[in-house]
A and B are shown apart, each in its own frame.
Chain A
Amino acid sequence: MTRIAITGVGLLSTLGIGANAVFANMLEGRVTTSGEIPDFDATAFLGDKGLRHFDRTALVLSSAARLAAEQSGLASAGYAPEDIGVVVGSTHGSIQAITEFDQESVREGPNYVNPQDFANTVISQPASRVGVIFSATGLNTTIATGTASALDAIAYGLTMLRLGRVATLLCGSALGHSSEIEQSYAKAGRLQISANGVGPFALGRKGPKFAEGGAVFVLENEDKARQRGSKPLAVISGVGSFFGHGSAGLVRAMKEALTQAGLTPEQISCVVSFASGSPGGDAQEGEAISEVLPGAPVTAPKSQTRDCLEASGAIHMAVSLLSISSGKIPGIPKLESIDPAFSKLDLVCGKARDASVKHVLVNARDDSGHNAVVIVSAPE
């Protein structure tokens, strides 16, 4: 099967802008205290023209795409516009813009909304904005599987590349800060607003806290990337996706990814878990990891970045790249009292751990039953 390489990564999180900056902060054990990316000025990445009607999700996504494209040298890679596609995982799209557009029409009347903002009400608009910026005329798809969306988008993107529908992809996910998400999910008991409280895998955890963020990757055929003189950051060696409830669904997806990658459980250097501090979600994932990958070191980036919902999978994939290149697995800060349910897991607590990181398994799941797994491997 064609090997697909990652040749660029763009990452924005409340811990910083750019994959290296975010990862350095993670290694230092920093924990975000805000739901918004600090000092984020999209014009630094996208210029100051034409951004007026971009919503926050599109700004974060497009900025991440710019960082990824620059790292990979996409502009001078020799791809024709119709060879370049965009695939985005998103389940809330431009949620804040959608709800504000509707609120304005309720409050002021339907004839007073700004028609320029209407485009933001379709979930695929952030992906479309990226398409315009990069003249990517090959394909433009948005995939929605809840909080598993980012990794299911990666899986879909791999299929498109392997079928030759496009030659290269800007593929990832982002979610901009949204008071609608924060308030409505807090009301539903799915998110915590309080700054206090413990995080992933901790005893007494009450639920995740939300923050914005996003990550985009340049994906292309590994041989082609090398031919044009680009050194892959990593390769995607396997993906798995399975719809099914409980830990069993995630177990199936993890095993599928291992099979596709041709790897044994012992070969997995670490697991970037999806644990968010959700009582049920963490428990199910813990069970699945114990069953499939007993003994693998497990980290949980949401302990530092907070939960970015559908964008989390992409952010975690970016973390896996940095782990591979640096030989360091970020720790889970302030995990003082581990839930005994996870006593069998090798949780990387506190400080980052040095390790030879060759293959990283990244999990994503949604309470609705969506499970998606990607294995990222060191380039040869």
Chain B
Amino acid sequence: MRNRVVVTGVGPLTPIGIGRDAFWNAAVAGTDGSDEVQKFDTSIYRFHRACEVKNFVAPKLEGDPGPATVFAVAATELALRDAGLDLPLGEVGLAIGTTGGEIPVLEHINRVRFQNGEDAVDRDEFPKYPVHVISTNVARHFGFTGPNLVVPTACAAGNYAIAIGRDWIQSGRVDRVLAGGVDPLSRVTFTGFGRMFAIAPDRCRPFDKNRKGITPGEGAAMLVLESLELAKRRGAKIYAEVVGCGFSCDAYHPTMPHPDGMGARLAMERALHDAGLSLETVDYVSAHGTGTPANDKIEANAICTVMGDHAAKVAVNSIKSMIGHTMGAASAIEAVACALAIDTEVIPPTINHETPDPECNLDVVPNKARNKRVSVALNNAYAFGGNNSCVAFAKVA
């Protein structure tokens, strides 16, 4: 008998709010987190808006690590506090997803090189960059001794981390895991998406007929996952159960999704199969919903194909309309949204929705939050390389 895995703590660090209540209140209110970019000068760019984390008091950390570590530590702290857990916790697993990891460290190095030459680059700077340091730093900060890794599977990484954490608990390797994702705003990412003309000039409008692209974002979210047994034993608040995970790869193109949404469908089908649930049980899908013309059309088509007639009854939203595309953090923050939607029976809206797109024939919960009992939620996340993931959450009866 494999252990059941539940979410008992959430630590969202997002452009619209830091911590469970601040994030959720802002999400339900439909807050647009986008603004002019503060972190770097965008005057030489064609695009100028991003969703940055505001009013964040960075914790002082040993060794002056990069910003991904700082976000991840803060999100972990929030999640532990939300779960009512005190240190030391000892054998806790740690799985963190990311797209670029500490890439702002490398960007800093290259900026210094360009302005002042190689000799001006600090010798201790580059070792702060490789992606694995994020989970190493977090584990060291909190004294976690369980299994530990970073899963850099780009924009589906948060879901991968949650699935890995679930595997560890299911197999009995540990009974508690911190899992999530992180990405600070990156100049490389902003440059790349800008050069692909995949950034929205004004606002991110997922599933809208006039959508023009993503709004780059940043943030982190960590979730406390525990075996159901441990959660019950310590009387923990249980938000939701992680009931299924599904993965696939388009194996089609480095950046473009498969035109028929083959992989997106397979990931959802596999998550439902893994959960042992029929598609009629699904009440809510937290879409990848980046706001690019291609993604939203293909994802909508995939959801409709998988759900069939049931699609009309499924509420689908993209909180990227509010928090932007937070890359590797996106599916972790959206997993928090799934857990809180199940717990509070409210689904946050897809904001900036003006003109429905007949090619996205979904109930996208436009502009206004909706009260709805959510028994089962699916969390979709896709990535460069056609990497697709879907995690299923369910209300614990």
Contacts and interface: CB of A to CB of B under 8 A. Distances in A.
Given A244-B145, A368-B132, A138 B249 contact: yes
B397 to A, nearest CB: 25
B299 interface: no
B56 interface: no
Interface string B341-368: 0000000000000000000000000000
B192 A121 contact: yes
Contact of B385 (A102, A125, A146): A125
Interface string B68-102: 00000000000000000000000000000011110
Interface residues of A, number: 70
A91 B252 CA distance: 24
B327 to A, nearest CB: 9
Interface in A96-120: 98-99, 101-103, 105-107, 109-111, 113-115, 118-119
A176 to B, nearest CB: 15
Interface residues of B, number: 71
Contact of B188 (A101, A115, A159, A242): A101
Given A99-B110, A105-B188, A141 B251 contact: no
Contacts of A145: 132, 148-150
Nearest to B133: A368
A334 interface: no
B167 A159 contact: yes
Given A111-B45, A124-B154, A128-B249, A102 B188 contact: yes
Contacts of A101: 188, 191-192
Contacts of A106: 110-111, 114
Contact of A140 (B110, B123, B126, B153): B153
A128 B387 contact: yes
* From A140, A149, A156, residue with most partner B Cβ within 10 Å: A140
* From A124, A139, A369, residue with most partner B Cβ within 10 Å: A124
A143 B153 CA distance: 8
A107 B115 CA distance: 10
Contacts of B121: 184, 187
B4 to A, nearest CB: 16
Interface in A276-320: none
Given A102-B106, A102-B110, A137 B263 contact: yes
B147 A107 contact: no
Contacts, number: 211
A144 B150 contact: yes
B152 A131 contact: no
A173 to B, nearest CB: 13
Interface string A119-135: 10111110111011011
B187 interface: yes
Contacts of B252: 132
A93 B126 contact: no
A376 B263 CA distance: 33
Interface string B265-279: 010001000000000
A146 B254 contact: no
Task: Give chain A's interface secondary structure class.
Answer: mixed
A43 B213 CA distance: 36
Interface in B146-197: 146-154, 160, 164, 167, 171, 187-196
Contacts of A195: none
A243 interface: yes
Nearest to B270: A165
B384 interface: yes
Contact of A139 (B133, B191, B247): B247
A105 B384 contact: no
A146 B136 contact: yes
B147 A243 contact: yes
A75 interface: no
A124 B151 CA distance: 9
A144 B44 contact: no
Interface string B235-278: 00000000000011111111100000011001000100000000
B195 A111 contact: yes
A57 interface: no
B117 interface: no
Given A111-B46, A163-B167, A189-B123, A125 B248 contact: no
A113 B191 contact: yes
Nearest to B148: A243
A99 B106 contact: yes
Given A99-B106, A134-B251, A370 B132 contact: yes
Given A92-B130, A118-B191, A141-B247, 8 more contacts: A102-B107, A114-B195, A123-B99, A124-B384, A128-B386, A137-B248, A137-B266, A141-B153
Interface of A: 53, 81-82, 85-86, 90-93, 98-99, 101-103, 105-107, 109-111, 113-115, 118-119, 121-125, 127-129, 131-132, 134-146, 149, 152, 156, 159, 163, 165, 180, 183-185, 187-190, 241-244, 366, 368-370
Q: Shortest 3 CB-CB distances between A and B: which pairs?
A: A128-B385, A118-B192, A184-B126
25 contacts: A91-B132, A92-B130, A98-B103, A99-B110, A102-B107, A111-B195, A118-B191, A118-B195, A119-B385, A121-B192, A122-B152, A123-B98, A123-B152, A124-B384, A125-B385, A128-B249, A128-B387, A131-B385, A131-B386, A137-B249, A139-B247, A141-B153, A141-B247, A142-B151, A369-B148
